[in-house]
C-alpha cells in the first residue's frame, strides 16, 4: 500500500530505469558488465532504457508495487512481459532510479503467479 495521499500516476512519471552492471554480461547503457555470480542475467535484447522506463512507469501507475517505502518511492515494482515477471528494485531513493531483473516462478510475489 502506498502512503496515504500518494498519487501513483504522478509518482510514476518521475521514476527511471537505470539498470545495473551486476545483471549484464555485455556492455549496456548501465555501463561495462560486472556480473555477480548470484545475480540473474539480463536478456541482451532488453537494451532500450526508454522502453524499460516505460514498463516501470506503467507498473507503478497500475499499483504493482511493494513495500517498504524508501523516501518517496516503493522499494519494489513488478511488470509482466509475456511469460516473464520482472522485479524493479529501487537503487536511488533521492532520484527514483530502479534496476530490474527477471524472477523465477518461486520468487513471484503473492498475486503475480
Domains contained in the chain, number = 1
The verdict on residue 32 lying in a domain is yes
The verdict on residue 68 lying in a domain is yes
Residue 28: pLDDT above 90? no
Q: Element (H or E) spanning 46, and its range?
A: none
d(CA 102, CA 8): 23
Predicted local distance difference test score (pLDDT) of residue 113: 63
Beta strand extents in 1-113 (DSSP E only): 16-17, 65-70, 73-81, 84-92, 97-102
The verdict on residue 15 lying in a domain is yes
Cis upstream peptide for 18 (omega within 30°) = no
Note down the domain range covering 71.
8-107
Predicted local distance difference test score (pLDDT) of residue 88: 96
The verdict on residue 1 lying in a domain is no
Region 57-66 average pLDDT: 97
The verdict on residue 2 lying in a domain is no
Least confident of 31-40, 49-58, 102-111: 31-40
Residue 65: pLDDT above 70? yes
User: Within a 10 A sphere around the Cβ of 37, how many other Cβ atoms?
Assistant: 5
Instruction: Give the model confidence (pLDDT) of 85-104 as tens digits.
Output: 999 999 999 999 999 988 99
The verdict on residue 52 lying in a domain is yes
Sign of CA dihedral 79, 55, 4, 66: positive
Mean pLDDT, the chain, integer: 91
Predicted local distance difference test score (pLDDT) of residue 52: 96
Instruction: Give the model confidence (pLDDT) of 69-85 as tens digits.
Output: 999 999 999 999 999 99
The verdict on residue 40 lying in a domain is yes
The verdict on residue 3 lying in a domain is no
Amino acid at each position: 500500500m502506498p502512503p496515504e495521499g500518494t498519487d501513483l500516476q504522478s509518482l510514476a512519471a518521475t521514476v527511471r530505469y537505470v539498470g545495473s552492471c551486476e545483471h549484464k554480461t555485455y556492455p549496456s547503457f548501465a555501463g561495462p558488465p560486472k556480473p555477480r555470480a548470484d545475480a540473474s542475467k539480463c536478456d541482451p535484447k532488453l537494451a532500450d532504457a526508454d522502453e524499460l522506463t516505460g514498463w516501470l512507469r506503467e507498473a507503478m501507475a497500475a499499483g504493482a508495487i511493494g513495500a517498504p517505502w524508501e523516501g518517496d518511492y516503493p522499494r519494489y515494482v513488478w511488470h509482466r512481459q509475456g511469460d516473464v515477471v520482472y522485479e524493479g528494485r529501487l537503487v536511488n531513493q533521492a532520484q527514483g532510479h530502479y534496476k530490474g531483473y527477471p524472477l523465477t516462478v518461486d520468487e513471484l510475489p503473492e498475486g503475480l503467479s
